[in-house]
Amino acid sequence: MKILSLLGGGIDSTTLTIWLKTQGHDVTAFWVNYGQVAARNEYDSCSEFCSSAGIDLETASLMMDMGSSSIVNSETDKNDRTKNVLDGRNAILLSMGTSFAANHGFEAVAIGYHHEPDKVFPDACIPFFDQYSKLMEVGLVNPVKLIAPFRNLLRYELFMLADSIDTSIVDHTHTCYDNIIGGCGKCSHCIQKASYVRSVTLESVLKSIRSRIDL
Ligand SMILES: [Zn+2]
């Protein structure tokens, strides 16, 4: 399948993009600069992993004032959870990717959503994704399928899958909201990464994880 994979430079989307390639798909990655503080490190991570995996990387820019969220404003207090919200970000990224895909002959758009029990961002959750997918079924001249292959996986399972492909995905992708190489250690993404304790994963566990990938 000719797939456009939305890549943000972090663990989830990098794992997805490389996993799709290992499954034999014709994968192109798509990264968007929407003014995020971490743009430079995100892009460097995307570029490095795509180049080593032999994946083409397309980029796009969003020229819009995105407000005072700490994700786009380095002066905003990152410790204030209410300032870590950037409403509609995933909705915008999905729309840009889907439009790019429909106009460039792609069959599918892939996004690294996974099962997220805490539901911090509504548009990063499966109910939103399913409704958006239905909307796109009636909204495009050139049909594009929207896929979230890791939708049934918990975050730590996604990390285990990443490690089974290449341990440098967890170690060297840029997951942090800040532009600090190695991460700030304080934002929600850094905290999630720090909570993952690497250990030898049994093949039976990996088999169970792989069996729940939805593609
Ligand atoms: Zn961080």
pLDDT one-digit tens code per residue, 75-115: 888 777 778 889 999 999 999 999 999 999 999 999 999 98
Gap from CA of 180 to ligand 1 centroid (Å) = 8
Burial label, 128 (beta-carbon count in 10 A; 0-12, 13-18, 19+): middle
Gap from CA of 135 to ligand 1 centroid (Å) = 34
Gap from CA of 187 to ligand 1 centroid (Å) = 4
| Mean predicted lDDT score pLDDT of the chain | 93
Gap from CA of 129 to ligand 1 centroid (Å) = 25
Gap from CA of 191 to ligand 1 centroid (Å) = 7
Gap from CA of 182 to ligand 1 centroid (Å) = 8
Listed residue (180, 207, 210, 183) closest to 194, CA to CA = 183
Per-residue pLDDT, 74: 86
Gap from CA of 23 to ligand 1 centroid (Å) = 31
Task: Give the separation between CA 166 and CA 171, rounded to whole angstroms.
Answer: 9
Phi and psi of 193, rounded to 5°? Answer: -65, -40
Residues with CB under 5 A from ligand 1 (ion): 176, 183-184, 187, 190
Average pLDDT over residues 24-52: 97
Per-residue pLDDT, 25: 98
